[in-house]
Amino acid sequence: MIATGADGRFAGADFVASPNCDERPPAEAVTLLVIHSISLPPGEYGGEAIERLFTNRLDPAAHPSFEALRGLRVSAHFLVRRSGDLRQFVPLQLRAWHAGESVWRGRRRCNDFSIGIELEGTDQSAFTDAQYQRLALLARGLLDLLPIRDIAAHSDIAPERKTDPGAQFDWTRFLTTLARR
């Protein structure tokens, strides 16, 4: 199990505070884990662009694809890099702005009751062994800590807008690895 402190930070995760979060609604339980994927620029890995996006420091002029992100205020609780390194942007008790307009099992506003985990990757590329291992370890820690009942893809909660983590994400592998933890 991964330890967490009263501040909502996970041991083993580098913490970089994102301003793109706020309080959850009163007495709202976290019951959903949402898996996303992201790469900035699209299809490129490494670098600081994701962190800069989540901390409102992304320069729209730094890459042609970044212009579409101008003024966007988003975050996730966690980012799992290709190497398996783990970064946390939002404490668990706060609502990260990762899901956008979303619905899960008839409930709207999934940010209110979910934790968002971004995997560095795209819909078109396979994820790494290190990512599956870290994701399973993180998810097991979250399942042990929070009353999470469901795990969903971003595409499951926002099917009209999103496709991530995509067809290359191996759900069977992830869930099998998670069950062994």
Q: Tens digit of pLDDT for each residue in 124-155?
A: 999 999 999 999 999 999 999 999 999 999 99
DSSP for 84-141, written as a single string = --EEE-S-TTEEES-S-S-EETTEE-GGGGEEEEEEE--TTSPPPHHHHHHHHHHHHH
Per the annotation, the verdict on 51 as an active-site residue is no
Residue 121 above 60 pLDDT?
yes
Alpha carbons 12 and 51: distance in angstroms, whole number: 17
Mean pLDDT for all residues in the chain:
95
Q: Tens digit of pLDDT for each residue in 59-77?
A: 999 999 999 999 999 999 9
Residues 27-32 have a mean pLDDT of: 96
Bridge-based pairing of strands 94-96 and 21-23 is antiparallel
What are the residue ranges spanned by the domains of the chain? 14-20+29-37+75-180
Residue 3 above 70 pLDDT?
no
- pLDDT > 70 fraction of the chain, expressed in percent and rounded: 98
Q: Tens digit of pLDDT for each residue in 161-173?
A: 999 999 999 999 9
pLDDT of residue 12: 85
pLDDT of residue 129: 97
- 14-20+29-37+75-180, what's its fold? Lysozyme-like (3.40.80)
User: Strand, helix or coil at 154?
Assistant: helix
Under DSSP, the state recorded for 34 is E
Tell me how far the alpha carbon of residue 134 is from its chain's centroid: 13
Predicted confidence band at 180 (pLDDT cuts at 50, 70, 90)? Answer: confident
Helices and strands (H, E) in the chain, number of each type: 4, 10
Alpha carbons 49 and 46: distance in angstroms, whole number: 8
pLDDT of residue 144: 94
Predicted confidence band at 11 (pLDDT cuts at 50, 70, 90)? Answer: confident
pLDDT of residue 1: 43
Residues 43-68 have a mean pLDDT of: 97
- Choosing from 44, 118, 120, 160, the catalytic residue is 118
